[in-house]
Chain A
Amino acid sequence: MSNRVEAFLGLSAELTAFSRFDLLGTGLAERYLGTLDTVVGGEITDMLLAAFVALPPPEDGTRAQALRATILGSELLGDVARALIKLWYSGTWFELPYAWTQRFGPKSADATFVVSPDAYIEGLLWKAIGAHPAGAKAPGYGSWAYPPKIPTFPGSPTSKPDAVSVHPQNAGIMS
């Protein structure tokens, strides 16, 4: 994996709160990096990645604040980073805000679009809410009888009960 993809994955993991494994598990990491390159261009994408690489190390308490200040709070990079979060969660690139285009100039590919059919299916939002995308990844007859499986994120207060283990007939078996 190239350094560029590595940096993109690191940035994406930090922005979405999903792990690199989850992100790679969508099969879409390189496609989304390519989407950034196509829509905002390689130059701005590289600036975003460079800003991420320049953050203080994870063990440094100021990292989260620096991420807000230098990426999310940046006039140029902030809207791009927010569009990237929405892309990972929904599989859709959302057109950048009017203010951004006014300030930095319109980009010809910057329109709202679904990246690909599997991008819709692999949107992180479904995993985040313990549901499946309508029309895909069917969870099987009767699965609606079980509570949704919500992943635990770093900083979650407690882990959620496992979806299947709470079923009384399966107690002890399906933990």
Chain B
Amino acid sequence: MHTHSSIRTLDELQEILHGAMQLEHATIPPYLTALYSIIPGVNQDAAQVLRVIVVEEMLHLTIAANVLNAVGGTPDLTRPDFVASYPAYLPDGETDFEVGIQAFGREALTTFLKIERPATRPERLKAGNPLLHRKIPPHKTMLGSHPSNKELHFYSIGEFYAAIVDGIRELEGRAQREGQTIFTGDRSRQVTSEYYYSGGGELFPVVDLKSAIDALELIIEQGEGDGGGIYDDDEHELAHYYRFDELVKGRYYLKGDKPGHPTGPQLQVDWDGAYPIKPNLKVAEISDGSELREATIAFNHRYGEFLKLLTLAYNGQPSLLLEAVPIMFEFRNMMLELIRNPLPGHPGLNGSPTYEIGRDAAGPCVACQAGAVA
């Protein structure tokens, strides 16, 4: 049932890099929603951690686009399946785990830790790096799929990125032996630091094998740390996994700390200090004609426009990223309003962005018609 996981053609490489963009983007809605669900005045440490991480995920998305552009691809964030349908699924060894839209809290943190620490394959299963068969139904989003067969997915996000790195080495090696290169992309399509400020790391142009590998390693290290250490390669930054771990442990890491044993100052987390949003809310669950429903649809629409703008920015107009910045702040304000509004017919639960991009033309509120709304 397993098949070989290697990337063998340039088409496959471009497609899996699209998959990497989709994967990096897929973490942004859950992190952002958790961040904006935090009630003002509490959980400032947690808000700061989430903010830093979500900004780095945006950097990773842009890095993946740079690598795709470098190998002659055409980033497209407007593909119908680009934005995950939540809850989406990430591979985690033999079991998949759900990544959903939910409020900040212990459950959200458990998921975030899983996102940032990919599973390690046991020694006995290492031979041949086989892929796994998809277990979740077709209409759900499975991240980390194989580019040529969506029925198969990688064992973990770690192996997904390892396959990309190996594929680039292999294809470039083959091209070089014929006096060619896979790095044929137009240099002007690279998004670099002048278009991207305070963005959680350096954005350098990807033009050859070395810069491509450096770029992908930055993504991997910011997530899970460098070779088991808690810091990234440059020892500047704590990896995402350990930032989330600080919240769980209630204590900051210091340089030299062992994984799982932070020794820095204590920090306070109020696990109930978030608005009680309904997890993985869909527009179809919000009563017809309510202002909340209209605002939820308006947010999705705006998010879709934003992805169109990003697509242009990643296709030769990097300066458009500067114009995208105010829209991201506008999202914050829109999301805060959704999250603070009670969800009609669901006492004790609040609204939430649904991120149904291109999918929110859903029909009338089914649950509401069933009499759920007084």
Contact = CB atoms under 8 A, between A and B. Distances in A.
A129 to B, nearest CB: 14
Interface stretch (A51-59, A73-81, A139-147): A139-147
Contacts of A116: 40-41
B305 A139 contact: no
B40 A118 contact: yes
Nearest to B39: A27
B341 A140 contact: no
B342 to A, nearest CB: 6
A45 to B, nearest CB: 21
Contacts of B312: 173
A139 B308 contact: no
Contact of B342 (A1, A169, A173): A1
A145 B327 CA distance: 13
A47 B292 CA distance: 30
B270 to A, nearest CB: 15
Nearest to B301: A175
A174 interface: yes
Interface in B319-349: 320, 322-323, 325-330, 332-333, 336-338, 340-342
A19 B329 CA distance: 22
Interface residues of B, number: 29
A164 B325 contact: no
A143 B275 CA distance: 29
A83 B51 CA distance: 37
Contact of B326 (A20, A24, A143): A143
A24 B340 contact: yes
B213 interface: no
Interface string B281-300: 00000000001100100000
A23 to B, nearest CB: 9
Interface string A116-146: 1110010000000000000001111111001
Name which of A1, A138, A142, A170 has the most chain B CB atoms within 10 A of its CB: A170
Contact of A24 (B305, B325, B328, B341): B341
Contacts, number: 69
Given A118-B41, A140-B329, A164-B326, A174 B305 contact: yes
Contacts of A20: 291
Given A173-B308, A174-B305, A27 B40 contact: yes
A152 B41 CA distance: 31
A97 interface: no
B309 A24 contact: no
B329 A139 contact: yes
A174 B325 contact: no
A164 B322 contact: no
Interface in A72-125: 116-118, 121
Contacts of B39: 27
A25 interface: yes
Contact of A142 (B309, B322, B328, B333): B322
Contacts of A117: 40-41
A42 B7 CA distance: 70
Contacts of A26: 340
A37 interface: no
B78 to A, nearest CB: 11
Nearest to B347: A1
Contacts of B338: 25
A21 B323 contact: no
Nearest to B328: A140
A126 to B, nearest CB: 10
A174 B40 contact: no
A7 to B, nearest CB: 16
Nearest to A25: B337
Contacts of A24: 337, 340-342
Name which of A19, A25, A164, A167 has the most chain B CB atoms within 10 A of its CB: A25
B294 to A, nearest CB: 8
Nearest to A121: B40
Contacts of B327: 164, 174
Nearest to B350: A24
Name which of A21, A22, A138 has the most chain B CB atoms within 10 A of its CB: A21
Interface in B138-160: none
A21 B342 contact: no
A152 to B, nearest CB: 13
A158 B320 CA distance: 30
B342 A137 contact: no
Nearest to A20: B291
A27 B329 CA distance: 18
Given A173-B305, A173-B308, A174-B309, A22 B325 contact: no
A174 B41 CA distance: 34
Contacts of B337: 21-22, 24-25
Query: 4 nearest interchain CB pairs?
Result: A25-B337, A21-B291, A143-B326, A118-B40
11 contacts: A21-B337, A24-B342, A25-B338, A27-B39, A116-B41, A139-B329, A164-B326, A173-B305, A173-B312, A174-B305, A174-B309
